[in-house]
Amino acid sequence: MSKMKMADGSTVVRRNRPGTKAKDFCRWPDEPFEEMDSTLAVQQYIQQLIRHNPANIDLILKMPESQDEGVWKYEHLRQFCMELNGLAVRLQGECHPETCTQMTATEQWIFLCAAHKTPKECPAIDYTRHTLDGAACLLNSNKYFPSRVSIKESSVAKLGSVCRRVYRIFSHAYFHHRSIFDEFENETCLCKRFTQFVTKYNLMSKDNLIVPILEDENTPGESEA
């Protein structure tokens, strides 16, 4: 219940409807995927699996039979970007332009920001914001992704470059803000899920997967924007 003070000084007691509290926000009834008939069915299904157990990565990434693979990859990447905003918010408290003047991961990796007319260095927190904004613009583009049920192969081919850029947010957090990374990862398993996702669908080279989140660790190298 909530109380509201009216202009005449009286108080009105209002009963909140179910679902209005933050803890109830995502508590819609579960549905089998084959019974979901919305154009947002894939997104709903993925979020349903994450809500149940974010650590059950194999199940979350298991594509239902007859599902279009391009749409499946697209919806997963949309979901990753939405969840990565949570990590970006946490980084803001510690990752300042004065201290993290470049988007780095260890001393061997310096990333250029592609949000500018000519790719250039950015403070890490600006790179993070620019990258997530750019990913959102592309993934919501009516030109490349006008449908949520069918996607052209030429548009699916653009997902790899988005994966490479957003992954750098994980790598910077891991190597330079480890406590924030660990806390976020323990809650979401997001970096591990992302790493398994891009590995499963060959969206990134294993040489670029520098966060040792899986059993096989990778050796750092050099990268372009």
CB 190 within 8 A of CB 83: yes
The neighbour count for residue 89, using CB atoms within 10 Å, is 10
Cα(145)–Cα(141) distance, integer angstroms? 6
Residue 176 assigned as binding residue: no
Residue ranges of alpha helices (H) inside the chain are 41-52, 57-61, 69-91, 124-139, 153-156, 159-176, 178-188, 190-200
Q: Which residues pair with 12 in a beta bridge?
A: 4
Q: How many CA atoms lie within 13 A of 129 on its CB side?
A: 11
Q: Taking the CA atoms of the chain, what radius of gyration do you get in angstroms?
A: 20
Contacts of 211 (CB under 8 A, 6+ apart): 170, 171, 174, 175, 191, 195
Cα(216)–Cα(224) distance, integer angstroms? 23
The neighbour count for residue 47, using CB atoms within 10 Å, is 18
Residue 52 assigned as binding residue: no
Length of the chain: 225
Tell me the binding residues.
95, 100, 172, 177
Tell me the binding residues for Zn(2+).
95, 100, 172, 177
